[in-house]
């Protein structure tokens, strides 16, 4: 079994579709081993996305991610990282395959409903950013 990190972003929470996304996650065979709803400060968003500091989209991304509540999750499944990225779909909802979360719930590249780790090292860092080990079942 593998674990990965996911975020239901402020746009999806604001539109009231977080529950529908969680339902799709569970129906896809993931076990939710950690979940929190919280608001990020701008500093927390900047720390989380520090790898992108200096890129043209950094300021807008961190402003957006601190604009309202998010749901952070740790998901477990066989091949969880790839499986979650496949379920999310392409970053640009207009290019995401039908049936993916971003195609269904995203509205733009910037407001694409979900985030997911792209590699085991990233997942470990991102899970640790929001969850202490004792919080994960």
What is the rounded CA–CA span in Å between residue 103 and residue 71? 19
Active site residue 115: yes
What is the rounded CA–CA span in Å between residue 125 and residue 1? 18
Can you list the alpha helix ranges (DSSP code H) found in 89-130? 101-105, 120-130
Under 8 Å between Cβ of 62 and 47: no
What phi and psi values does residue 6 have, to the nearest 5 degrees? Answer: -140, 150
Task: Provide the pairing of β-strand 114-116 with 69-77.
Answer: unpaired
Selecting among 3, 9, 102, 115, the annotated active-site residue is 115
The residues carrying an active-site annotation are 115
């Amino acid at each position: 079994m593998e674990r990965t990190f996911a975020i239901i972003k402020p746009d999806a929470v604001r539109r009231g579709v977080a529950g529908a996304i969680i339902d799709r996650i569970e129906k896809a065979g993931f076990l939710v081993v950690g979940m929190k709803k919280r608001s990020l400060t701008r500093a927390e968003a900047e720390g989380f996305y520090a790898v992108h500091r200096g890129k043209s989209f950094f300021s807008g991304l961190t402003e957006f991610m601190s604009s309202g509540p998010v749901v952070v999750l740790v998901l477990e499944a066989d091949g969880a990282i790839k499986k979650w990225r496949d379920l999310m779909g392409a970053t640009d909802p207009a290019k995401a395959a039908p049936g993916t979360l971003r195609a269904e719930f995203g509205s733009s590249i910037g407001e694409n409903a979900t985030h997911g780790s792209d590699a085991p090292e990233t997942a470990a860092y991102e899970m640790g950013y929001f969850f202490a080990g004792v919080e994960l079942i």
